[in-house]
């Protein structure tokens, strides 16, 4: 059985889930569904902690605390890694927004390193970011079969779609099979 790794762009997954009502999902089940019978070495989840001012507002503290608790729960899932980037404030003085930094590079490095080190035979990626085209090609050059999961309802760059060996829509039925059930 092929060893696979799952690479999840958390921002993209959040967009997918938002489009279908933001259901809570069980990330272990999600990993298993995405692997479809391959032997999962590990799932990698790439995200950033939310912004906090100095001093943080009450709302910022609460959002940070909830995210921290969520990240801790993810880290308790067997063979699940959380990779945290950082937020950078981008603005022109009057308006500003925060953008993730380092997240895409971490995913690309992990994908390429694991492929060339022969740790995996299959890479499963959940993203829509065309920045990964070259990393996916490098994984393929190392002999790894690459599979993209994407939403048919969200924009997807053609060059990203084309570079993958296999492509599968990430469907509402898949999400329903991964819903979190409180015990």
- The CATH number for 140's domain is 3.40.50.1010
Residue 31 lies in a domain: yes
Residue 163 lies in a domain: yes
| Total number of domains constituting the chain | 1
In angstroms, the CA 22 to CA 26 distance is 13
Whether the per-residue pLDDT at 168 is higher than 70: the answer is: yes
Residue 69 lies in a domain: no
| Average pLDDT value over all residues in the chain | 92
In angstroms, the CA 156 to CA 130 distance is 8
Whether residue 40 contacts residue 79, with contact meaning beta carbons closer than 8 Å, is answered with yes
Which of 89-98, 104-113, 121-130 shows the lowest per-residue confidence on average (mean pLDDT)? 89-98
In angstroms, the CA 169 to CA 153 distance is 10
pLDDT, tens digit (0-9, with 9 covering 90-100), for 98-119: 888 889 999 999 999 999 999 9
Residue 53 lies in a domain: no
Whether residue 48 contacts residue 87, with contact meaning beta carbons closer than 8 Å, is answered with yes
Whether residue 41 contacts residue 88, with contact meaning beta carbons closer than 8 Å, is answered with no
Structural domain including 145 reads 3-47+82-177
Residue 63 lies in a domain: no
Residue 18 lies in a domain: yes
Residue 156 lies in a domain: yes
Calculate the dihedral angle through the C-alpha atoms of 18, 91, 85, 5, rounding to the nearest 10 degrees: 50
Residue 127 lies in a domain: yes
pLDDT, tens digit (0-9, with 9 covering 90-100), for 3-46: 999 999 999 999 999 988 888 999 999 999 999 889 999 999 99
What's the pTM value of the predicted model, to 2 decimals?
A: 0.93
Strand order, beta sheet including 166-169: 80-84, 39-47, 3-9, 122-126, 145-150, 166-169
Phi, psi of 79 (to 5 degrees): 55, 45
């Amino acid at each position: 059985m092929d060893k696979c790794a799952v690479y999840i762009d958390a921002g993209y997954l959040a967009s997918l889930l938002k489009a279908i009502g933001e259901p809570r999902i069980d990330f272990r089940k999600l990993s298993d569904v995405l692997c479809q019978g391959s032997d999962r070495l590990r799932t990698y989840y790439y995200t950033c902690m939310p912004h906090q001012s100095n001093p943080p507002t009450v709302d910022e503290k609460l959002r940070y605390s909830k995210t921290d608790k969520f990240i801790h729960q993810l880290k308790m899932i067997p063979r699940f890694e959380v990779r945290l980037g950082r937020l950078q404030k981008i603005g022109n003085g009057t308006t500003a927004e925060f953008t993730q930094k380092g997240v895409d590079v971490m995913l690309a490095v992990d994908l390429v390193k694991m492929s060339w080190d022969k740790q995996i035979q299959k890479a499963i990626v959940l993203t829509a970011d065309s920045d990964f085209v070259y990393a996916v090609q490098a994984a393929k050059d190392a002999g790894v079969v690459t599979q993209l999961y994407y939403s048919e309802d969200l924009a997807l760059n053609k060059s990203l779609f084309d570079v993958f060996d296999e492509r599968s829509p990430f469907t509402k039925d898949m999400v329903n099979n991964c819903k979190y059930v409180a015990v």
